[in-house]
Amino acid sequence: KNIVKIYRLGKKSDNITRPILIKFDDVKNKELVLRNSHRLKSIGDDLTGIGLSHDLTSEQWTELKQLVSSAKKQESEDKEGFLYRVRGDIGKWKVFEALAIRLKIGIDQFCLIALYRPGSEQTTSLIFEELIPMLEFITMSEAHVILMGDFNIHVEKRDSPFSLGLHEILDTFQLVNHVNQQTHVSGGTLDLVICSHDFPILDTKIDPCSVYSDHSYVGVRVALNQIRSKLVKACIKLLG
């Protein structure tokens, strides 16, 4: 119950052992596990090669070094004393377009991501190579994930390698697709609403195609916790 999320990093491979990312609900639980990690070796010989670390992955370190190097270069070239924050390059994705907004409503935090992949582009495995790093970054936070948009992947074709690949990624990151019927006038389930497995989706509404465009209108109803104002009873005595 102390583990919030757990999944493997990187692409699935039979030749490479992928590290497992574990996110705890409290930093004290993480420190407790790290302090006692040496006891793993005493459990059995098959655990002697297992190590624990709260460091960044090699890919994250490489990206961090690039960001720091870029920031230092811009800072050295800046002569006006302008304060800025480097957030990464814009438009580094080649396969799809995405816009992410982080929101807080009441006590709930979630990251809303609008994604679009042009249907005119050929479907390749590159979409997964770009989608996985984005989900790895987004799911590191405590916010719920709501990923929606036109993926242009026929998820209704269960035997399609791209449909299978997408479902495998969703399972890895504990995400659930809530759209399972036709969303395009030519057939196919292309427009998806993907959320964290514990995000409270009450129901999904899909209007017929051609009402607004050649795609269906997809709406979802969610239940969010709201902080109610506390009523305070006070006794006031007038002195006069």
Contacts of 152 (CB under 8 A, 6+ apart): 117, 118, 119, 121, 123, 190
Residue pair 183/18 in contact (Cβ under 8 Å)? The answer is no
**What domains are defined for the chain?**
3-47 (no CATH), 61-89 (no CATH), 97-222 (3.60.10.10)
What is the full DSSP assignment across 132-183? HHHHHHHTTSSSEEEEEEE----TT-TT-HHHHHHHHHHHHTTEEE---S--
pLDDT at 57: 64
CA dist 170 and 109 (Å) reads 20
pLDDT at 87: 54
pLDDT at 204: 87
pLDDT at 210: 75
pLDDT at 23: 77
CA dist 26 and 70 (Å) reads 33
CA dist 202 and 106 (Å) reads 18
Nearest CA to 137 out of 85, 203, 92, 182 is that of 92
Which stretches of the chain drop beneath a pLDDT of 50? Answer: 240
SS3 of residue 99 by DSSP? strand
CA dist 211 and 215 (Å) reads 8
pLDDT at 54: 58
Model pTM? Answer: 0.56
